[in-house]
Amino acid sequence: MSTDRKVRLTPEGKVRLEKELNTLRKERLPELSRLIQESSGDGDISDNSEYEEMKDEYMYLEHRVHELENTLEHAELIAAAGHPKVVGIGETGLDFYYDSSPRDAQEASFRTHIPAARATQLPLIVHTPSLIHIRRCRRYSLV
Protein backbone atom coordinates (compact mmCIF):
# COMPACT_ATOMS: atom_id res chain seq x y z
CA MET A 1 0.00 0.00 0.00
CA SER A 2 1.45 3.34 -1.02
CA THR A 3 2.10 5.73 1.84
CA ASP A 4 1.79 8.92 -0.23
CA ARG A 5 -1.71 8.41 -1.62
CA LYS A 6 -4.76 10.25 -0.34
CA VAL A 7 -8.02 8.51 0.48
CA ARG A 8 -11.12 10.63 0.38
CA LEU A 9 -13.58 10.13 3.24
CA THR A 10 -16.71 11.82 4.46
CA PRO A 11 -16.62 12.95 8.08
CA GLU A 12 -19.07 10.12 8.87
CA GLY A 13 -16.87 7.62 7.02
CA LYS A 14 -13.83 8.72 8.98
CA VAL A 15 -15.70 8.31 12.27
CA ARG A 16 -16.85 4.82 11.19
CA LEU A 17 -13.27 3.75 10.37
CA GLU A 18 -11.94 5.22 13.63
CA LYS A 19 -14.60 3.28 15.55
CA GLU A 20 -13.67 0.04 13.76
CA LEU A 21 -9.98 0.63 14.49
CA ASN A 22 -10.70 1.30 18.15
CA THR A 23 -12.83 -1.86 18.44
CA LEU A 24 -10.11 -3.98 16.85
CA ARG A 25 -7.35 -2.56 19.06
CA LYS A 26 -9.20 -2.56 22.38
CA GLU A 27 -11.54 -5.53 22.10
CA ARG A 28 -11.06 -8.05 19.29
CA LEU A 29 -7.26 -8.35 19.16
CA PRO A 30 -6.77 -8.58 22.95
CA GLU A 31 -9.58 -11.15 23.25
CA LEU A 32 -8.24 -13.21 20.37
CA SER A 33 -4.73 -13.03 21.80
CA ARG A 34 -6.04 -14.32 25.14
CA LEU A 35 -7.85 -17.20 23.40
CA ILE A 36 -4.73 -18.13 21.42
CA GLN A 37 -2.64 -18.17 24.59
CA GLU A 38 -5.19 -20.34 26.37
CA SER A 39 -5.35 -22.71 23.43
CA SER A 40 -1.58 -23.03 23.16
CA GLY A 41 -1.35 -23.71 26.89
CA ASP A 42 -3.58 -26.76 26.52
CA GLY A 43 -0.81 -28.98 25.14
CA ASP A 44 -0.27 -30.30 21.62
CA ILE A 45 -1.44 -27.75 19.06
CA SER A 46 -0.12 -29.51 15.96
CA ASP A 47 -3.59 -30.85 15.02
CA ASN A 48 -5.67 -28.09 16.55
CA SER A 49 -7.66 -26.52 13.72
CA GLU A 50 -9.33 -23.99 16.04
CA TYR A 51 -5.89 -22.74 17.10
CA GLU A 52 -4.84 -22.33 13.46
CA GLU A 53 -8.08 -20.51 12.63
CA MET A 54 -7.56 -18.13 15.54
CA LYS A 55 -3.99 -17.41 14.41
CA ASP A 56 -5.22 -16.77 10.86
CA GLU A 57 -7.93 -14.45 12.13
CA TYR A 58 -5.40 -12.63 14.33
CA MET A 59 -3.09 -12.07 11.34
CA TYR A 60 -6.04 -10.83 9.27
CA LEU A 61 -7.10 -8.42 12.01
CA GLU A 62 -3.54 -7.13 12.43
CA HIS A 63 -3.47 -6.45 8.69
CA ARG A 64 -6.84 -4.70 8.92
CA VAL A 65 -5.54 -2.50 11.77
CA HIS A 66 -2.53 -1.53 9.65
CA GLU A 67 -4.80 -0.83 6.67
CA LEU A 68 -7.12 1.35 8.78
CA GLU A 69 -4.22 3.25 10.33
CA ASN A 70 -2.76 3.94 6.90
CA THR A 71 -6.12 4.96 5.45
CA LEU A 72 -6.87 7.34 8.32
CA GLU A 73 -3.36 8.77 8.21
CA HIS A 74 -3.82 9.73 4.55
CA ALA A 75 -7.51 10.64 4.63
CA GLU A 76 -8.96 13.67 2.93
CA LEU A 77 -12.54 14.27 3.89
CA ILE A 78 -15.13 14.25 1.14
CA ALA A 79 -17.59 16.97 1.96
CA ALA A 80 -19.56 16.58 -1.25
CA ALA A 81 -20.36 12.92 -0.65
CA GLY A 82 -22.43 13.89 2.35
CA HIS A 83 -24.76 16.06 0.24
CA PRO A 84 -28.27 14.57 0.06
CA LYS A 85 -28.31 14.66 -3.77
CA VAL A 86 -25.16 12.53 -4.08
CA VAL A 87 -26.25 8.99 -4.94
CA GLY A 88 -22.93 7.28 -5.70
CA ILE A 89 -19.16 7.63 -5.88
CA GLY A 90 -19.04 7.01 -9.62
CA GLU A 91 -17.41 4.49 -11.93
CA THR A 92 -13.94 2.96 -11.96
CA GLY A 93 -12.11 -0.08 -13.24
CA LEU A 94 -9.00 -1.57 -14.78
CA ASP A 95 -9.05 -1.61 -18.55
CA PHE A 96 -5.74 -3.02 -19.73
CA TYR A 97 -7.13 -4.30 -23.01
CA TYR A 98 -7.33 -0.97 -24.83
CA ASP A 99 -4.50 0.60 -22.81
CA SER A 100 -6.01 4.06 -23.33
CA SER A 101 -4.59 5.38 -20.03
CA PRO A 102 -1.48 4.40 -18.05
CA ARG A 103 -1.92 1.34 -15.88
CA ASP A 104 -0.49 3.02 -12.79
CA ALA A 105 -3.02 5.86 -13.16
CA GLN A 106 -5.87 3.34 -13.51
CA GLU A 107 -4.69 1.43 -10.44
CA ALA A 108 -4.28 4.64 -8.40
CA SER A 109 -7.80 5.69 -9.32
CA PHE A 110 -9.14 2.23 -8.52
CA ARG A 111 -7.39 2.22 -5.14
CA THR A 112 -8.87 5.62 -4.29
CA HIS A 113 -12.45 4.91 -5.36
CA ILE A 114 -12.90 1.61 -3.48
CA PRO A 115 -12.10 2.95 0.04
CA ALA A 116 -14.17 6.06 -0.66
CA ALA A 117 -17.16 3.90 -1.58
CA ARG A 118 -16.69 1.71 1.47
CA ALA A 119 -16.31 4.66 3.81
CA THR A 120 -19.31 6.57 2.45
CA GLN A 121 -21.37 3.43 1.86
CA LEU A 122 -22.28 4.85 -1.54
CA PRO A 123 -22.44 2.67 -4.65
CA LEU A 124 -19.50 2.41 -7.01
CA ILE A 125 -19.74 0.96 -10.50
CA VAL A 126 -16.75 -1.24 -11.29
CA HIS A 127 -16.32 -1.97 -14.97
CA THR A 128 -14.18 -4.84 -16.13
CA PRO A 129 -14.04 -6.13 -19.69
CA SER A 130 -12.97 -9.68 -18.87
CA LEU A 131 -12.50 -12.37 -16.25
CA ILE A 132 -8.78 -11.62 -16.21
CA HIS A 133 -9.55 -8.18 -14.82
CA ILE A 134 -11.69 -9.67 -12.06
CA ARG A 135 -8.69 -11.75 -11.03
CA ARG A 136 -6.59 -8.59 -10.96
CA CYS A 137 -9.24 -6.97 -8.77
CA ARG A 138 -9.01 -9.89 -6.37
CA ARG A 139 -5.31 -9.20 -6.03
CA TYR A 140 -6.35 -5.91 -4.42
CA SER A 141 -8.93 -7.70 -2.21
CA LEU A 142 -11.68 -5.64 -3.78
CA VAL A 143 -14.08 -8.29 -5.07
Mark 18-46 as b/e (b = at least 16 C-beta within 10 Å): eeebeebeeebbeebeeebeebeeeeeee
Sorting pLDDT into bands at 50, 70 and 90, what band is 7? confident
42-75: pLDDT as tens digits: 666 667 788 888 889 999 999 999 888 888 876 7
For residue 68, the 8-state DSSP code is: H
Sorting pLDDT into bands at 50, 70 and 90, what band is 131? low
Of 138, 130, 137, the closest CA to residue 106 belongs to: 137
Residues near 105 by beta carbon (within 8 Å), at least 6 away in sequence: none
Q: What are phi and psi of 93, to 5 degrees?
A: 170, 175
Res 1: pLDDT: 43
What's the CA angle centered on 95, arms 93 and 96, to 5 degrees? 140
Res 143: pLDDT: 46
Res 129: pLDDT: 66
105-129: average pLDDT: 79
- pTM, rounded to two decimals: 0.53
